Amino acid sequence: MSTVVLLLVTGLGLGALYFLIASGLSLTYGLMRVLNFAHGIFLTVGGYASWWIAVRLPFGDPWRFLVALLGCLVVGAIVAAAVEIGLIRPLYRRHVEQVLVTVGLALAFTALVQGTFGPDPISYPAPSWTQGVTQVAGANIPNSRLLAIAVAAVVFLVLSAFLRFTRWGLIVRAGVENRAMVAALGIDVQRAFTLVFALGGVAAALAGALGALYFGNIDPERGTATLIFAFIVIVIGGLGSFTGSALAAVVVGLLQQFMNYYASVYWGFSAAGDLSVVLLLAVVLLWRPQGLLGRSVG
């Protein structure tokens, strides 16, 4: 029983990280039809920025971590907005060029981080509470997983409220459906693009800082490695569906965690988690090509 609870919570924790990075990716695609292969760099930025700030602060936790967290969110928003304005905006509707530029940016940024901070993972100065465990139904759950779940849940609620109750949220929801008509109502869709990109950058940077707690370190390649699963999540959830991304992130995180454990214990197969996620993607695409909560086209 305790093993199931442990897998359940750690799976949800992994799903929380996937959701944080996939939510921005999903909104970006839904509104702008941009598949941003450089989205993972916002996660890397978040991890490294929070580490860089934390190791320089003269005071201890929890304030050190909280200030570092806030700082990384600001950096994530600025980097994301800069990417949108500098690289994506000149290439709207030029999908091949977008793919080339964003893939190139991801590769170049990873190399830049490796060149600046070294290619190896760097130990993260995690607050002591996050390194402890909490007993849940007999299972010792790492607090970093509980924190990731709680933060992702708050982000989900905040972004849902933003989309549902604010004028900008209304613009984003309408823009996902018909960008040209939003502009024809006199609304500057371009500003909504930048806002959504910045929000995506914030959520991914948050995933970077929480991922540093989750894994205990920061890694130059974590952004690109996690991005693959974030893409799978948004395709399973339905491209452009924010709620679909949340649902799919939970499903993928749980599946990955359970398969990794049970396939390893019973069949000695250690990579079953990743394989099962790819198989799930294939099944969903065959059964429901628009994804779990996506709208069918045509």
Partner 1 sequence: MSTPTATRTLLEVDDLHVHLGESHILQGVSFQVPAGGVTALLGRNGAGKTTTIKAILGLVGRSGSIRLSNRELSRMTTHEIVRLGIGYVPEEREVFSELTVAENLRLAERDKRPRYDLVFDVFPELEQRRAQAAGSLSGGQQQMVAVARALLNDNQIILVDEPTKGLSPLMVAKAASALKRAAQAATLLLVEQNLQVARDLAEKVIVLDEGRVAYTGDVADLLADPALARRYLGVGGH
Nearest to 135 by CA among 127, 143, 123: 143
C-alpha 191 chain-centroid distance: 22
- Say if CB 46 and CB 75 are below 8 A apart: yes
Regarding 184 and contact with partner 1 (CB under 8 A), the answer is yes
In the complex, minimum distance from the CB of residue 182 to partner 1, in angstroms, rounded to a whole number: 7
Check residue 181 for interaction with partner 1 (CB under 8 A).
yes
180 is an interface residue for partner 1 by CB under 8 A: yes
Q: Which is nearer to partner 1, 176 or 212 (CB)?
A: 176
Phi, psi angles (nearest 5°) of residue 166: -105, 160
CB of 86 to partner 1, least distance (A): 19
Is residue 189 at the binding interface for partner 1, with CB under 8 A as the rule?
A: yes
Site size with partner 1, rule: CB under 8 A: 18
Among the listed residues 178, 225, 265, 282, the single contact to partner 1 using CB under 8 A: 178
- How many angstroms separate the CA atoms of 247 and 122, rounded? 32
- We find the least distance from the C-beta atom of residue 163 to partner 1, in angstroms, to be 11
Parallel/antiparallel/unpaired status of strands 133-136 and 139-142: antiparallel
Give the chain's count of helices (H) and strands (E): 12, 4
Q: Please give the full DSSP string across 9-72, using - where no structure is assigned.
A: HHHHHHHHHHHHHHHHHHHHHHHH----TTTHHHHHHHHHHHHHHHTT-SS-TTHHHHHHHHHH
Interface residues for partner 1 in 118-177 (CB under 8 A)? Answer: 167, 170-171, 173-174, 177
Instruction: Compare residues 1 and 185 and give the one whose CB is closer to partner 1.
Output: 185
Minimum Å distance from CB 171 to partner 1? 7
Interface residues toward partner 1, by CB under 8 A: 167, 170-171, 173-174, 177-178, 180-190
